[in-house]
Amino acid sequence: MASKNKMKTRRGLRVRRALKSVGNGRARLSVHRSLNNIYAQVIDDAAGHTLATASTLDKEVRSKVKNGGGVSAAAEIGKLLAERAKKAGVTDVVFDRGSYLYHGRVKALAEAAREGGLNF
């Protein structure tokens, strides 16, 4: 039986491999979540640059949400990231959920980013 960490690493690599095949040069919206916070960034892999970032550690988000690790906080991050990405000139992205399941906070962030104007 594989350990949890090994399974998580394998799942993350599988997702990243699938993204490479469908990416077609689009920017990547990468999500990382911890117990208390959630982080998201739009990355241009061809140039190796981060185009936009948002996290629950940002001052403007901290004032809006009580708990940085909740679903409502993830939705705020999705809206903020979509706004910042549009300012950077990015509308089409590929969603990289990493090794996290598309459920809960990750799903809330993705849906809020879609509502904010990102296409994926």
Q: Decide: residue 12, CB within 10 A, 0-12 exposed, 13-18 middle, 19+ buried.
A: middle
Q: Range of 89's domain?
A: 4-115
pLDDT digits (tens, 9 = 90+) for 22-75: 878 899 999 999 999 999 999 998 899 999 999 999 998 999 898 988 999 999
Number of domains in the chain: 1
pLDDT at residue 20 tops 90? no
* Percent of the chain clearing pLDDT 70 (strictly above): 99
Say if 120 falls within a structural domain.
no
Task: Give the per-residue pLDDT at 23.
Answer: 75
Mean predicted confidence (pLDDT) in 67-90: 95
pLDDT at residue 21 tops 80? no
Q: Domain of 84: which CATH number?
A: 3.30.420.100
Name the pairing type of β-strands 49-55 and 38-44: antiparallel
Collect all residues with Cβ–Cβ distance below 8 Å to 56 and sequence separation of at least 6.
Answer: 36, 37, 38, 39, 62, 65, 68, 69, 73, 76, 77
Element (H, E) at 52: strand 49-55
Say if 42 falls within a structural domain.
yes
Q: Given pLDDT bands bounded at 50, 70 and 90, which one contains residue 77?
A: very high
pTM comes to 0.89
